[in-house]
Amino acid sequence: MKKIIGEFFTTDEKTKDRPYLSNTKKELIKSVQTEDQDILMAIRQLYLDGKNFDMDPCFSTGTFYKGIEEPKYKLDKSPQRDDVMLNDILYGLPFKNMTLNGIVFDPPFMFGKHGGWKDSVMNKRFTMFDKWVDLEEMYIKALSEFYRILKKKGIVAFKCQDYTDSKTTLTHCFVHNWAVKQGFKAEDLFIKVATGGRIYNKNLTQRHARKFHCYWLVFKK
């Protein structure tokens, strides 16, 4: 497929539902999408003048950058590629104050190890915090570091997901409050709807809505 810099498609391909991918017609950017790439491209267009993100501190394998540019700086606690820098965000980020313009953050979202968590497909893929306080500590530390290293009007694209176990935790509400307390302004919110199935125990009585979506919150310094 022919590639245009900063675009997924050539101009003769369909971009009806991806208006920010077309260089021939500007249309409405929607808050609800089914692909992380579409949301990241939309955030780039709206808040970074089309420029790429500078850094991702939880890069993993970089799966959702397929088809779009990866950030210049790629970090992870457990690097999966040779070009990813080893770094645990709990101990700070290796950047000077006010040096970056855009950050992508997609941290683990599950917490509370119990039962068969070790064999959980989600745990093996995304890892899991022991307790809610561990998630809270990591998220707040990350926001503090982001605020430090971002330039004025710098952007954080923060992916988070509410979590239902024995109860539902509306994590995105906590993330919003932590970010605002840190000094960020909440600029936007995108919803990514899952198109695939979700693993669940059919033998249990359902007491909460099954989560088929996650959020991308956009914060500005």
At 77-93, the pLDDT tens digits run 889 899 999 999 999 99
Strand partners, 155: 102, 220
Largest interatomic CA distance in the chain: 53
* Whether pLDDT at 212 is above 70: yes
Q: 30-196+209-220 adopts what CATH topology?
A: Rossmann fold (3.40.50)
- pLDDT at 133 (0 to 100): 85
Among residues 14, 70, 39, the alpha carbon closest in space to that of 193 is found at: 39
Contact 196, 127 (CB under 8 A): no
- Residue 106 in this model has a pLDDT that exceeds 50: yes
Domain boundaries, the chain: 30-196+209-220
Q: What is the mean pLDDT of residues 196-206?
A: 64
Q: How far from chain centre, in Å, is Cα 35?
A: 11
Whether residue 25 has pLDDT greater than 70: no
Rounded Cα distance, 209 and 163, in Å: 11
* Phi/psi of residue 32, nearest 5 degrees: -110, 125
Q: Are 24 and 10 in contact (CB under 8 A)?
A: no
Whether pLDDT at 76 is above 60: yes
Range with the lowest mean pLDDT among 63-72, 105-114, 207-216? 105-114
Over residues 117-155, the pLDDT tens digits come to 444 444 444 466 677 888 899 999 999 999 999 999 999
pLDDT, residue 201, reads 60
Q: What is the mean pLDDT of residues 94-105?
A: 98
For residues 103 and 53, the answer to whether their CB atoms sit within 8 Å is: yes
pLDDT for the residue 88: 92
pLDDT of residue 11 exceeding 60, the answer is: no
Task: Tell me the pTM.
Answer: 0.79
The two three-digit tokens of residue 91, written as one number: 């101990």
